[in-house]
């Protein structure tokens, strides 16, 4: 329900700080209700977004202080970290065109400026650079089969499956 508030509606509905607080509330609930119970049962968990997205969107995109986001992470998540983060990179124009092609009701972030999305992309690239042992950067501006092959290779290599 919190996620829906964030991804639908007008772009100016929330400021960056409100977005960050809502994202961390949703993340905490998802961890508590889904992720941690699954991990305790020995299951693998795959998520399409985690705290790097908040760091990129609200930190780099909206300009929030990264140390403030780190404190929110510590409160909401604690010492939990993903074992592997795949960052699918492509030019902003391509990403926005792909989002427009699948246009549904989740358009709030896509309606933000191209400059905002350029800062978000730069943030993801910086995250990948700062944490290469956890992050794998994948060129997503290629054929889907090639991207899928690269993902399978990286997952197999990094997680030894």
Tens digits of per-residue pLDDT, 76-118? Answer: 999 999 999 999 999 999 988 887 777 765 565 666 688 999 9
* Entry field: residues in the chain: 161
Joined tokens for residue 140: 């997503």
As a whole number of angstroms, the distance between CA 2 and CA 141 comes to 31
| pLDDT band (50, 70, 90) for residue 135 | very high
pLDDT at position 141 over 60: yes
pLDDT of residue 101: 79
- Which residues are CB-neighbours of 10 under 8 A, at least 6 positions away? 108, 111
Burial track 108-132 (b if 16+ CB lie within 10 A, e otherwise): bbbebeeebbebbbebbbebbeeee
pLDDT of residue 146: 98
| pLDDT band (50, 70, 90) for residue 134 | very high
Tens digits of per-residue pLDDT, 20-74? Answer: 898 899 899 999 999 999 999 999 999 988 999 999 999 999 999 999 999 999 9
- Record the pTM: 0.85
Which phi and psi (to 5°) does residue 35 adopt? Answer: -65, -55
């Amino acid at each position: 329900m919190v996620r829906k508030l964030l991804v639908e509606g007008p772009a100016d509905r929330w400021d960056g700080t409100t977005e960050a607080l809502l994202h961390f509330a949703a993340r905490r609930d998802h961890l508590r209700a889904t992720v941690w119970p699954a991990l305790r049962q020995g299951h693998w968990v795959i998520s399409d977004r985690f705290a790097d997205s908040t760091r990129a969107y609200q930190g780099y995109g909206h300009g929030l202080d990264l140390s403030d986001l780190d404190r929110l992470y510590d409160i909401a998540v604690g010492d939990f970290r993903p074992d592997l983060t795949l960052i699918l990179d492509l030019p902003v124009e391509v990403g926005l065109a792909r989002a427009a092609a699948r246009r549904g009701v989740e358009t709030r972030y896509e309606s933000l400026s191209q400059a905002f999305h350029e800062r978000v992309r730069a943030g993801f690239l910086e995250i990948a650079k700062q944490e290469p042992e956890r992050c794998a950067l994948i060129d997503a501006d290629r054929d889907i089969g090639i991207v899928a092959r690269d993902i399978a290779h990286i997952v197999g290599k990094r997680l030894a499956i």
